[in-house]
Chain A
Amino acid sequence: MPSDTETRATVGFFATCLVDLFRPSVGFAAARLIERAGYRVVVPRAQSCCGQPGYNSGDRDAARRAARRAVAVFEGFEHVVAPSGSCAAMFVHHFPDLLSDDAGWEGRARALAGKTCELVDFLARVAGWRPEAAPPAAGSITYHDSCAGLRELGIREQPRALIAAAGAPELREMEGPDICCGFGGTFCVKYPAISEAMADKKIDAIEATGADTVVGGDLGCLLHIEGRLSRRGSAVGTSHVAELLAAGSGDGMGGD
């Protein structure tokens, strides 16, 4: 592994709204992992949202504005990394589509798409990084594959490889780890009854594993699952994969 001084390249870190506003500690954990993998992390102040709320609600113009802003803020970096499959998929797939009829922007969006990665995909595949220390014993975990990361970015083995390399804790696969938890952005408040039913199926599968913690790569899904677990009075905890991996490779730059 390269040491912290042999910095290879600069990563522009896109925090995502939910990490920025709800769980800064996930952002710090993610940044620490990227640094551990040998990269310099830059967090542009000018970043805001990737545009998903507008894009998925049919407000294409608002999504295009968000896309152009993100392109302008992040196109100068060698790599761009986001701790979320759905936000990274906006950069990788949807910005080029949104800006496809905009001659001045299409090429820039494509260039940015080519160098943007979701966090664990970046660590495992691009950086070839493996955790050097096991996370502190945290009981057993189960892994939820978030939809956009899985189906738009092909993230399935990457987090499992990193967790396995860390040596612990024990990963117990649930039935249907790839089935949606029912979050879906605004979907969860447009159709709460359907969203909760989907969360219940997910939680039944989680609880059937007997795992202590459900781990995932998207904070939206995790907050949703956490909210429903808590309402059901479940003892199962939630953790972002960045927190899990960073717990074992710590240098005190954590969030709280």
Chain B
Amino acid sequence: MHADSARFPDNVTAARRDPMLLGALQRLQRDARAGRAEVIARLPEFEALRDAAREIRNGALANLAANLERFEENVIANGGAVHWCRDAAEAGAAVTRICREAGARTVAKGKSMVSEEIALNAALLGAGFDVVETDLGEYVLQLRDETPSHIVIPAIHLTKDQFAETFRDAHDALPEDRSLEEARAITDEARGALRDVFLRADVGITGANFLIAETGSVVIVTNEGNGDLAQSLPRTHIVVTGIEKALGTVEEALTLVRVLARSATGQEISAYTTFATGARRADDAAGPEAFHVVLVDNGRSDLLGGPKREILRCIRCGACQTVCPVYGAVGGHAYGAVYAGPVGSVLTPALSGLETAKHLPEASSFCGACEAVCPVRIPLPRLLRLWRQDAFQAHLGPTALRWGLFAWSALTAWPGAYRAAGAIGGRVLRLLAMGRPRLARLPFAGKWTGGRDLPVPEGGTFVGQWHRRRGK
């Protein structure tokens, strides 16, 4: 599915008609809820760690320019190169150029959301390179020509059977009667197919969870080990990441690692936490000959200088997506954006423009479950509300809503009139209800009564009755 944010309302309708998707989402949310509760119960200082993580990220953003410059100096000292890119086009061009200069044919990719953000696969395929995703979920998505629907569990919208079916179509050299019933059989088959890619690849591309200024290291936090192979086997390693990932010290990264896996997958720590520092040295047994870091801005500097800068604290754990009841009702693809869920609804208007993405900040009940789990305490509802304010000022919402708000605001300035109007409205509803407690249908209220009966007011107003009964 290649949906876009402007069609969010239609995407919602389609998602609600997809029973496989809804089943997958229900399982995700139920399991994640239990898993998170368990892993946090074992770490009493988790809330204090969240505070520490927030302060580390705030400090890193406050010193971002200095951290990035120091990071670059150390990367160069370690024999690598840093490429600064303003936007997706520049970043795509930089990676393409590096691949060309490396004389590459095959490119093995570790999981990277920034590479999705800059549509890197399309750029590389267009330039004639053979690009293969090596994360299991991303690999299946590439075979199906789909995009990730979750930051850390990209193929969460698919069932095991859909994985198996995709492999049967793609791996047509394998025996047709092989069993793909067990998850293990599916991962073994992927492993077999990808082993060859790793050995053949001339370039490995990974993302980054953190960049460390004091050492020039790039940290990836993974579970499958494919990222490690992608960054150590090919001759050239390219890191593609956002500028906001830079931290000062290794110590800071280690604290963030403690909240990251717990928030992302309910693990105490992921299977692999790997530090890549520069190109292979003379006496190293293995490693890439060339090491490049492509730093992508793509709207981040603008966010940094504005009122929504707190979104840049994000460490991409996906917890806000996993917990969000709206995400749970429609899945990631409905958002029509690289980043779905609460974090995406804050980021996407910054990346693609508010006019295109105007539906996303509206797609929240402001329940606050996202902020309650965010490991770096990003006030996501507050940031969504800021986008709603921008949309209101830019007149991007429906005119009817605008007039409704105007009438409401005017009326509430006159409490007597407000109450009188409310009481008249209540009387009308009571007349229509003819003694029933609820209305099943009401003209102009179909958005409510389409799926819910409308409870009828008791009659009168509380304030009016109170003063009548209690005297003056």
A-side residues, CB < 8 A to B, are: 15, 17, 19-28, 31, 43, 45-49, 51, 53-60, 62, 65-66, 69, 147-148, 151-152, 176, 178-180, 182-199, 201, 223-224, 226-228, 230-231, 253, 255-256
Contact = CB atoms under 8 A, between A and B. Distances in A.
A21 B457 contact: yes
A28 B330 CA distance: 40
Contact of A197 (B329, B387, B440, B448): B329
B372 A197 contact: no
Contact of A53 (B405, B453, B460): B405
B455 interface: yes
Interface of A is mostly: helix
A223 B455 contact: yes
A194 B12 contact: yes
B458 to A, nearest CB: 6
A48 B418 contact: yes
A24 B455 contact: no
A148 B372 CA distance: 12
A215 B10 CA distance: 34
Given A15-B463, A58-B392, A194 B329 contact: yes
Contacts of B457: 21-23
Given A197-B329, A256-B458, A57 B392 contact: yes
B329 A46 contact: no
Nearest to A186: B401
17 contacts: A20-B462, A21-B419, A43-B463, A47-B415, A49-B412, A56-B385, A65-B413, A148-B366, A151-B367, A184-B366, A189-B447, A191-B326, A191-B362, A224-B452, A228-B451, A230-B455, A253-B469
Given A21-B426, A24-B462, A148 B368 contact: yes
A227 B439 CA distance: 9
A58 B385 contact: yes
Interface of B: 9, 12-13, 16, 33, 325-326, 328-330, 362-369, 371-372, 385, 387-393, 397, 401, 405-406, 408-409, 411-416, 418-419, 422-423, 425-426, 438, 440, 447-448, 450-455, 457-463, 465-467, 469-470
Contacts of B418: 48-49
A51 B367 CA distance: 17
A24 B458 contact: yes
B465 to A, nearest CB: 5
Given A48-B415, A58-B390, A228-B452, A23 B405 contact: no
Nearest to A17: B422
Contacts of B368: 147-148, 151-152
B363 A194 contact: yes
Contacts of B365: 147, 180, 182-185, 187-188, 195, 198
A60 to B, nearest CB: 5
Interface of B is mostly: helix
Nearest to B450: A192
A189 B404 CA distance: 13
Most A CB within 10 A of own CB, among B325, B392, B414, B425? B325
Contact of B366 (A26, A28, A187, A231): A187
Contacts of B416: 45
Given A21-B461, A198-B325, A190 B362 contact: yes
B388 A57 contact: yes
A180 B459 CA distance: 29
Contacts of B465: 24, 28, 255
Nearest to B401: A57
A231 B453 contact: yes
Nearest to A150: B368
Contacts of B326: 191, 194, 198
Nearest to B451: A196
B330 A179 contact: no
B365 to A, nearest CB: 3
A227 B363 contact: no
Given A46-B415, A48-B415, A227 B452 contact: yes
Contacts of A65: 409, 413
A51 B389 CA distance: 14
Given A45-B467, A147-B367, A196-B452, A21 B388 contact: no
B391 A187 contact: no
Contacts of B385: 55-56, 58
